[in-house]
Amino acid sequence: MPLPPYRIKVVEPIPFLGPEERAAALHAAGYNPFNLRADQITVDLLSDSGTGATSAAQEAAAALGDESYAGARSWFRFRDELAELTGYPHLLPVHQGRAGERILFGALLRPGQICVSNTHFDTTHANVELAGAEPRDLPCPEALDLDSPDPFKGNIDLTALAELLSGPEGGRVGLVLMTITNNGLGAQPVSMANLEAAHALCREHGVPFFLDAARFAENAWLVREREPGYHDWTPRAIARQAFDLADGCVISLKKDGLSNIGGCLGLRDDDLYARCEANLIATEGFSTYGGLSGRDLERLAVGLREVVEPAYLAARAAATARLAQLINDAGVDTVQPAGIHALYLNAGRLLPHLTPAEFPGHSLGCRLFLDGGIRCAELGSLYLGTMDERHRLVTPAPFELVRLAIPRRVYGQEHLDHVAETLAAIAKDPERVSGYRIVSTPPMLRHFKVRLEPIRP
């Protein structure tokens, strides 16, 4: 087992509530973990976004942050680091990934156009629609078999992409956006071969080819481990190869930027850059800070170097794989093969006594909190299903999953063992997990603010 290449210098206490306190907290939260207070949670696996720990080197750099309104030293440090990593001639900072999506799609997509992806992330999907365009997902067929050990289930379906581009709708395709790794579909990586082939199809049809590269380093690591011909490459060189194939990228730096906030746009086209920059200045901030402080830019400049260190990526990948093994050994299936930033539990299979309308993924998530103080996110019918006006499920999601997202450099092996042990105890008597029904839903983005109640209290 590779050792994490760091030790701990600063710690933060985590709370331990008793079972009755947790039950009361969940009741008060309307049985929605998004409404829990963070100080009620022992191990928080809700998201890997902005939740990582920074290094002493990042905090030392932050102390030198230059907060000048324009042309700050920190901007040049950030820009130079990002330019060396990605090779893009034009770079724009944004406060987080979705701001970059909004600016890019507003400048690049026209109403009625189609944006094609291996899978759009949820905010990406929403921002394509806000630009008046249609998001279309073309995941590879292996992605829909949760148990398939195929190494690159994040790939786009090249046959479907070729058919779309040369078919009657081909002229409407305004952008092909590859999400690396495929966060919306099991944290699965995209192979370099798939990126190269998708790039060639886009060239042939004159369609812009972009990366949604929130996990560029983790994708590079999985390419190194799984794709023939890359084992001697550095993660940095593999990431660069991916950036080289694309006309540009949008990155949420809250993931592989190893920072609590930040994002960026990388572009080659001068005219597209000019339009994005104008929008950025109007809505995010001047183009040398984009809504970030000089201190954030400094942390990012260092984080972008630390994240591609092989020893860091090896230890992180091994920690996730070990947790997957413990969970699988306890009789709980996860989407195969394990990725790096998250594990996806197959709650539908663990809890066959619950129908999709009783939200098995949500039920398992609530049980993990009640039994172990663990918070995670449902990715099943509560999030993706369609409901009638009385909140009853009409069309279930294809799978009932729960995502355990692993914050970077935050939890030790004991914390992850606690998650596996809590799940193992649930798996011994799964019928104890009862279902939920919806009490009220907000008008949009249901999963964030929905309130529920247990069917059998």
Ligand X SMILES: *Cc1c(COP(=O)(O)O)cnc(C)c1O
Binding site for ligand X (CB under 6 A): 49, 96-98, 121, 123-124, 179, 183, 212, 214, 252, 254-255, 263
Q: Which of 66, 122, 371, 417 is the catalytic position?
A: 122
CB of 248 to ligand X, least distance (A): 14
Active site residue 212: yes
Q: Which residue among 31, 78, 105, 121 is the active-site one?
A: 121
Contacts of 42 (CB under 8 A, 6+ apart): 14, 15, 16, 17, 372, 373, 374, 418
Least distance (Å) between residue 221 CB and ligand X: 16
- Given a contact cutoff of 8 angstroms between Cβ atoms, the answer to whether 177 and 123 are in contact is no
Annotated active-site residue 6? The verdict is: no
Minimal CB distance to ligand X: which residue?
97
For the question of residue 255 being annotated catalytic, the response is: yes
- Residue among 311, 414, 422 at smallest CA distance from 373: 422
For strand 173-179 and strand 377-379, is the pairing parallel, antiparallel, or unpaired? unpaired
Distance of alpha carbon 391 from alpha carbon 436, whole angstroms:
12
Check if 447 is active-site: yes
**Nearer residue to ligand X within complex by CB, 263 or 360:** 263
Spell out the alpha helix ranges (H) of 227-332: 235-245, 270-283, 294-306, 310-329
Q: Which listed residue (90, 120, 255, 362) is catalytic?
A: 255
Burial group, residue 56, by CB count within 10 angstroms (0-12, 13-18, 19+): exposed
Instruction: Confirm whether 121 is a catalytic residue.
Output: yes
Instruction: Name the active-site residue from 16, 63, 69, 271.
Output: 69
Cβ distance to ligand X smaller for residue 79 or 120 = 120
Residue 381 dihedral angles phi and psi, to the nearest 5°: -70, -25
Please calculate the CA angle 163-241-195 and round it to the nearest 5 degrees.
15
**Nearest-approach distance from CB 329 to ligand X, in angstroms:** 29
Select which of 187, 214, 217, 420 is catalytic.
214
Residue 122 appears among annotated catalytic residues: yes
256 or 298: CB nearest ligand X: 256
Burial 422-435 (b: 16+ CB within 10 A, else e): bbeebbeebeebbb
Closest approach of ligand X to the CB of residue 107, in Å? 17
Q: Please confirm, yes or no, whether 213 is among the known catalytic residues.
A: no
Q: Which is nearer to ligand X, 90 or 341 (CB)?
A: 341
Parallel, antiparallel, or unpaired for β 90-94 and 209-212?
unpaired
Q: How far is the CB of 255 from ligand X (least distance, A)?
A: 6
- β-strand pairing of 43-44 with 374-375: parallel
Q: Which is nearer to ligand X, 263 or 339 (CB)?
A: 263
Nearest CB to ligand X, comparing residues 32 and 49: 49
Least distance in angstroms from the C-beta of 317 to ligand X? 17
The set of catalytic residues is 69, 121-122, 212, 214, 255, 447
